[in-house]
């Protein structure tokens, strides 16, 4: 049987080593760099980079080839968390059991560390083809996919919608489109880029993007469920916060049971999409299941 | 004689039209996009994009080819102003005679509009070679140059140093290195990218980068001088603020006369670097002079 725990552990080590290598080339003992590293190494699950590598593997590519994209995706995810946590936005002081960036440093440093992680992501992507001219166009496309997913028609617009929704009540359809932008777009880009780097065909790519949309939403539904009945110790943050802030969530709109059913259904859909893939897609299949079974 | 005013006016129209075209492809009536456009069209001098086009022209290229880079540079410059103006940073409520982004919208929207402009810059750069595969490597290099200049070893680190210096007193050397990062790096990248896109040779590129360093610093010295004796009406912002905040500036450290002399000397150095260029470098020469003679 496929050992997902071992797989994720190995991929995490690989991703963390690649991130560390990037930071070794940056000046040490500078507050800005320290703040960037602080948030980047604060215990993230590395879901997006693992999905990116898994997608490359699923279509027969070498996951290592996708490492620059994996690192860039994690940097962009981390920057978005730093900025979302700011007092002007969600005003969170704890993330993954540690003080958020603006608490550990200060607000100005947190804003700039986020900016710098976003910028560094594109630097890493632009350097990926430096020694292989023939891959330049491929990496340019990766930059386009990621910038579109992370920008004003993707992740950032999702955060705008999330903030606009505060206090009001969203419909299930509105909640879904908000999440499709806020978290779904970057998850979809993760698999898309992995597939692209591994030279996937248009049909495979299309299926992996469908897979991504299903697990992206399942991921968010599960997040909402964990906020209701998760263990704050395992999660490294308080639970029950969504209902206290009267946030529109799946459990609030559908109830807890129907939310769990929805998450399971989404993962079933995702697994069905992968039926045409061989055993090289085993990591992606296991990741899909992990996404709704995780405890944090 | 070369008519700089007309030249700048024409280039600005070209750049503004290119920016508008980019925004026409984005959804209308969305607050995020409106905030991005608000700051992008708030009357900036377009110095960086004009320098970028001017560099392409100076080495015999078509300035239009550099338009995507010019737009990206202006977006990055604008995002940096939006974030610098935030309450957690310089806390400025007026810029170019208009309310700053977080005053006109709100703080969260300003943070996200900045993030989105930065991200859009890379999207525009990644799309520049879309119809010309053979230029992919060139644009990948442009992305690398700009991301390095704008990131944690360039502009953002400059802003960190600027904030760290508040209250304390910098030496002239420290002031110079701070400005070399905060404004110099992106100005240098502007000329470097223009040269690269126009297929400049290594010697021409080297000279244009030297030119950039001189005028970049001259630009900053002039900014400091204008803060002392500029006309607030022409500048669209209050003057005298540096001395009230006891900021380290060239006039504060060297006196007003020596600062003016320094600015003139830097421009003379810059013009000397261009002596090997023919009349196609006339716009750059005129821009160097404009930088210290400007009233805003």
In this predicted structure, the answer to whether residue B133 has a pLDDT above a threshold of 80 is no
- What does pTM read for this prediction? 0.96
How many residues are recorded in chain B?
Answer: 296
Name the residue with higher pLDDT: A36 or A45: A36
Chain B: give the shortest CA distance to residue A132, in Å: 10
Query: What phi and psi values does residue A99 have, to the nearest 5 degrees?
Result: -55, 140
- Specify the pairing of strand B98-99 against strand B94-95: antiparallel
How many whole angstroms separate alpha carbon B180 and alpha carbon B188?
Answer: 9
Domain extent, residue B48, equals: 4-293
pLDDT of B180 over the 80 cut:
yes
For residue A78, list chain B residues with Cβ-Cβ distance below 8 A.
Answer: none
HSE-CB of A157 using CA atoms within 13 angstroms = 24
Q: What CATH number did the domain enclosing B160 receive?
A: 1.10.600.10
Contact A254, A205 (CB under 8 A): no
Provide the 3-class DSSP secondary structure of residue A99.
strand
Taking the CB of residue A296, how many other CB atoms lie within 10 A of it? 15
Q: Is the pLDDT of residue B131 over 70?
A: no
pLDDT in tens, A71-122: 999 999 999 999 999 999 999 998 888 999 999 999 999 999 999 999 999 9
From B31's Cα to the closest Cα of chain A, the distance in A is 8
Q: Give me the percent of chain B exceeding a pLDDT of 70.
A: 100
Chain A residues 148-167 with a CB less than 8 Å from chain B? 148, 150-153, 156-157, 159-160, 163-164
Of B118, B133, B144, the CB nearest to A118: B118
Three-class DSSP labels, B95-106: ECCEECHHHHCC
Q: Is the predicted pLDDT of residue B143 greater than 80, yes or no?
A: yes
Residue B72 gets which letter from DSSP?
H
Q: Are B152 and B132 in contact (CB under 8 A)?
A: no
Tell me the three state secondary structure of residue B245: coil
The answer to whether the complex's ipTM is over 0.90 is yes
Distance from CA of B289 to the nearest CA of A (A): 32
- Residue B152 has its nearest CB partner, among A36, A111, A160, at A36
User: Token digits for B174?
Assistant: 């420290």
Using the predicted structure, report yes or no on whether residue B9 has a pLDDT greater than 70: yes
Residue B59 CA to residue B54 CA, distance in Å, equals 9
Query: What is residue A88's DSSP assignment?
Result: T
Q: Which residue, chain included where needed, has tokens 């210096």?
A: B165
Q: What is the pLDDT of residue B232?
A: 85
How many domains does chain A divide into?
A: 1
Residue A203: exposure state from Cβ atoms within 10 A (0-12, 13-18, ≥19): exposed
DSSP H or E stretch at residue A22:
helix A4-24
Flag if A26 and B152 touch (Cβ within 8 Å): yes
| CB A63 within 8 Å of CB A57 | yes
Q: Which of B31, B107, B119 sits opposite A151 (nearest CB)?
A: B119
Cβ atoms of A158 and A179 within 8 Å: the answer is yes
| Cβ–Cβ < 8 Å for A128, A153 | no
Query: Which positions in chain A touch B100 (Cβ < 8 Å)?
Result: none
């Amino acid at each position: 049987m496929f050992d997902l725990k071992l797989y994720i552990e190995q991929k995490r080590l690989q991703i963390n080593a690649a991130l560390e290598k990037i930071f070794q080339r940056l000046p040490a003992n500078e507050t800005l760099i320290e703040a960037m590293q602080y948030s980047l190494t604060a215990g993230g699950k590395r879901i997006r980079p693992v999905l990116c590598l898994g997608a490359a593997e699923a279509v027969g590519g070498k996951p290592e080839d996708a490492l620059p994209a994996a690192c860039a995706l994690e940097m962009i995810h981390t920057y978005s968390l730093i900025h979302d946590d700011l007092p002007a936005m969600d005003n969170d002081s704890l993330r993954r059991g540690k003080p958020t960036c603006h608490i550990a440093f200060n607000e100005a440093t947190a804003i700039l560390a986020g900016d710098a992680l976003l910028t560094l992501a594109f630097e890493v992507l632009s350097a990926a083809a430096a020694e292989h001219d023939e891959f330049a166009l491929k990496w340019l496309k990766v930059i386009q996919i990621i910038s579109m997913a992370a920008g004003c028609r993707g992740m950032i617009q999702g955060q705008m919608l999330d903030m606009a929704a505060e206090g009001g009540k969203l419909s299930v359809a509105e909640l879904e489109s908000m999440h499709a932008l806020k978290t779904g777009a970057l998850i979809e880009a993760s698999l898309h880029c992995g597939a692209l780097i591994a030279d996937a065909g248009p049909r495979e790519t299309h299926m992996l993007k469908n897979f991504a949309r299903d697990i992206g939403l399942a991921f968010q539904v599960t997040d909402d469920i964990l906020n209701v009945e998760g263990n704050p110790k395992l999660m490294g943050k308080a639970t029950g916060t969504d209902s206290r802030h009267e946030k529109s969530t799946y459990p609030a709109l559908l109830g807890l049971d129907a939310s769990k059913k929805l998450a399971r259904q989404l993962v079933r859909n995702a697994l069905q999409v992968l039926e045409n893939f061989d055993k090289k897609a085993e990591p992606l299949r296991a990741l899909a299941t992990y996404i709704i079974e995780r405890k944090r």
